[in-house]
Amino acid sequence: MTVEQKAKALFAGAALLSFLMSVYLWFKVSKDYGLFVGIWVPSILSLGSLMLSGRGDRS
């Protein structure tokens, strides 16, 4: 597994964990908390895309 694949898996795992936590919070704790954590998912994926977009361009 390359470093880039590990980084992609890390960001995808973080987004999945955030999604699952938001679903738990939505149904078990508070809908407001679930919504707040749920909006982290696109932010995590965007950060991952930004961090990985420049890889491979360096010579």
Residue 57 counted as domain residue: no
For 45, the domain range is 8-52
* DSSP reduced 3-state for 4: helix
pLDDT tens for residues 21-43?
999 999 999 999 999 999 999 99
pTM for the predicted model, two decimal places: 0.82
pLDDT at 57: 58
Residue 2 counted as domain residue: no
Residue 59 counted as domain residue: no
Q: How far apart are CA 50 and CA 46, in angstroms?
A: 6
Q: How far apart are CA 11 and CA 48, in angstroms?
A: 6
Residue 31 counted as domain residue: yes
By percentage, how much of the chain surpasses pLDDT 90?
A: 76
**DSSP-assigned letters across all residues of 6-59:** HHHHHHHHHHHHHHHHHHHIIIII-HHHHHHHHTHHHHHHHHHHHHHHTTT---
Residue 3 counted as domain residue: no
What's the total number of domains in the chain? 1
Residue 37 counted as domain residue: yes
